[in-house]
């Protein structure tokens, strides 16, 4: 079952349904139980470990986390193994920022009450999974992870983890979003407006020059507690910043026009990720798997509906689309 959609009673119910979806699609659940008033879910596949903490009206957790109280949402970190004796955020191999102290993870903010729509995607061939949730109104949030990145050329690594926000910035609110819509940023931009939140909403396990064996993240920050040893950049990043960002083939203009008036369809734009090299230039490393930037903001398709382009079927959301596995 590569795709499922439905509703959930609350964050914990969503966690249960996501766990069941992962099990049904080949992931091993190492742990799923109650922690605090929320849930803890830790899964593995293909040598990749992902630990998640589902917060239901709780205080923000310690690193990595947003702080504050009455928090709803999901925090996620990649790891290199699983130990039943460790907490979700103390497993081996959790990425660290450049200061080698601050843990990095991603977040998917949610709200109190029932969840009116979720969309789960899995691809058994490529070991990828996505969770998209209608947070409120037309605001859709997401969490995705997988074993294999859609690579350009060859490089060592490939595991990836992405959320709507960095873990540290999960509860922050954007004053504006892409294309004038008050929505969450997508696809992964930086930690947040004003560059004041720790971490990265996208982490990729990749060896870059002398930096080996680490997860690297998208970040504009120069702070050693917020950036990784080498930075990644996204072709769709920078949407909330005035300065031009030149570390990839910027596709913002494509996304803005990513629909077709010829056939009232969508024009899915791949999200390219680039990695900072020793010489300061950036190498495109590939495409964020299965997700595309689109522009259907002014109608034509209900959010969450399916659109077929050629032989591919996409589920469309305000600024992005997930391609369903064949």
Partner 1 sequence: MGFAKGEASGYVHLLDRLRQFARGWAHPNKPTFAGVGTGQLTQVSATAATVAETWTLTCTAAAVNGGTFSVLGSVSGAQANATVGVAYANAYLSFLLTDGATDFQVGDAFTAVVQAPLAAADRWVEDRWVAGPPAELIMHGPGAGADAIYVGVTTYFDAGADYYNWKLQGFTGYQPAMAFGAQPGAILDRTPHVPLWQNAIPYWFMVSARRLLVVAKVSTVYEACYLGFLQPYATPNQYPYPLLIGGSLAFLGAEPAATSTAWRWSATPIEHRLPFEPGTQSNITSLEDQMCAVRLRNPAGAWRGFASLVSSAYIAGTLTGGNPANAPPTAANTTLRGNLIWPGCSKTTGFNVRQAMDGSPILQPIVLCSSDEAPNPDGVSLIGELEGCYALSGAGVATEDIVQIGGVDHLVVPNVFRTTRYDFFAVRLG
Q: How far apart are CA 86 and CA 98, in angstroms?
A: 23
In the complex, least distance from residue 254 CB atom to partner 1, rounded to whole angstroms = 6
Determine, following the binding rule CB under 8 A, whether residue 250 of this chain makes contact with partner 1. Answer: yes
Query: Of 142, 239, 301, 307, which lies in the binding site for partner 1, with binding defined by CB under 8 A?
Result: 239
Binding-residue pattern over the window 151 to 190 for partner 1, x denoting contact by CB under 8 A: -xxxx--------------------x-xxxx---------
307 interacts with partner 1 by CB under 8 A: no
Nearer to partner 1, 87 or 246 (CB): 246
Nearer to partner 1, 99 or 176 (CB): 176
220 binds partner 1 (CB under 8 A): no
For residues 208 and 307, which CB has a smaller minimum distance to partner 1 in the complex?
208
Pairing of strands 265-266, 269-276: unpaired
Are 136 and 110 contacting, i.e. CB atoms less than 8 angstroms apart? Answer: no
Please report how close the Cβ of residue 247 comes to partner 1 at its closest, in angstroms: 5
Query: Burial, 188: exposed, middle or buried (Cβ in 10 Å; 0-12, 13-18, 19+)?
Result: buried
Q: Determine the Cα angle at 291 with ends 2 and 40, to 5°.
A: 60
Query: How far apart are CB 210 and partner 1 at their closest, in Å?
Result: 13
Q: How far is the CB of 214 from partner 1 (least distance, A)?
A: 15
Residues 56, 74: Cα–Cα separation, whole Å: 9
Binding of partner 1 at residue 194 (CB under 8 A)? no
Minimum CB distance to partner 1, residue 113 (Å):
28
* Strand, coil or helix: 326: coil
Residue 150 binding partner 1, by CB under 8 A? no
Please tell me whether residue 254 binds partner 1 under the rule CB under 8 A. Answer: yes
20: Cβ–Cβ under 8 A, 6 or more apart, which residues? none
Verify cis geometry, omega within 30 degrees of 0, for the bond prior to 35: no
What gap in Å lies between CA 215 and CA 206, rounded to an integer?
6
In angstroms, the CA 42 to CA 314 distance is 28
Residues present in the chain in total: 326
Q: How many residues bind partner 1, per CB under 8 A?
A: 51
Task: Give the residue from 52, 152, 149 showing the smallest Cα distance to 108.
Answer: 52
Closest Cα partner for 55 from 10, 85, 24, 103? Answer: 10
Interaction between residue 202 and partner 1 (CB under 8 A)? no
Q: Specify the residue, 3 or 303, whose C-beta has the smaller distance to partner 1.
A: 303
Subset of residues 281 to 300 that bind partner 1, contact rule: CB under 8 A = 281-285, 295, 297-298
302 binds partner 1 per the rule CB under 8 A: no
Helix (H, G, I), strand (E, B) or coil at 190: coil
* CA–CA gap between residue 176 and residue 287 (Å, rounded): 26
Query: What span, in angstroms and rounded, lies between the C-alpha atoms of 173 and 275?
Result: 27
Least Å from the CB of residue 211 to partner 1:
12
Q: How far is the CB of 275 from partner 1 (least distance, A)?
A: 7
- Pick 191 or 248: Cβ nearer partner 1: 248
For residue 187, the minimal CB distance to partner 1 (Å) is: 13
Binding residues for partner 1, rule: CB under 8 A, are: 152-155, 176, 178-181, 206, 208, 238-254, 256-263, 267, 269, 274-275, 277, 279-285, 295, 297-298
């Amino acid at each position: 079952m590569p795709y499922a959609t439905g509703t959930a009673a609350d964050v914990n119910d969503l966690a249960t349904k996501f766990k069941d979806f992962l099990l049904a699609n080949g992931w091993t659940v190492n742990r799923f139980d109650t922690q605090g008033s929320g849930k803890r879910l830790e899964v593995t596949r293909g040598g990749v470990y992902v630990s998640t903490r589902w917060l239901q009206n709780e205080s923000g957790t310690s690193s990595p986390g947003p702080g504050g109280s009455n928090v709803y949402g999901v925090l996620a970190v990649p790891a290199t193994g699983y130990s039943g004796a460790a907490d979700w955020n103390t497993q081996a191999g959790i990425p660290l920022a450049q200061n080698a102290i601050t843990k990095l993870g991603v977040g998917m903010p949610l709200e109190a009450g029932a969840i009116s729509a979720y969309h789960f995607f899995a691809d058994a061939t490529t070991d990828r999974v996505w969770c998209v949730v209608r947070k409120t109104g037309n605001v859709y949030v997401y969490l995705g992870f997988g074993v294999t990145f859609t690579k350009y050329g060859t490089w060592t690594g490939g595991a990836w983890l992405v959320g709507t926000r960095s873990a540290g910035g999960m509860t922050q609110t954007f004053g504006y979003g892409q294309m004038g819509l008050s929505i969450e940023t997508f696809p992964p931009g930086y930690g947040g407006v004003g560059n004041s939140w720790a971490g990265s909403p996208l982490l990729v396990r990749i060896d870059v020059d002398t930096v080996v064996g680490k997860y690297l993240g998208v970040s504009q920050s120069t702070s050693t507690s917020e950036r990784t040893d080498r930075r990644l950049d996204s072709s769709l990043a920078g949407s909330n910043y005035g300065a031009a960002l030149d570390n990839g083939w910027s596709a913002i203009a494509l996304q803005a026009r990513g629909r077709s008036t010829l056939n009232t369809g969508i024009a899915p734009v791949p999200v390219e990720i680039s990695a900072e090299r020793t010489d300061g230039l950036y190498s495109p490393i590939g495409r964020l798997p299965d997700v595309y930037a689109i522009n259907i903001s002014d109608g034509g398709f209900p959010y969450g509906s399916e659109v077929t382009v050629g032989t591919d079927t996409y589920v469309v959301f305000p600024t992005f689309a997930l391609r369903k596995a064949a």
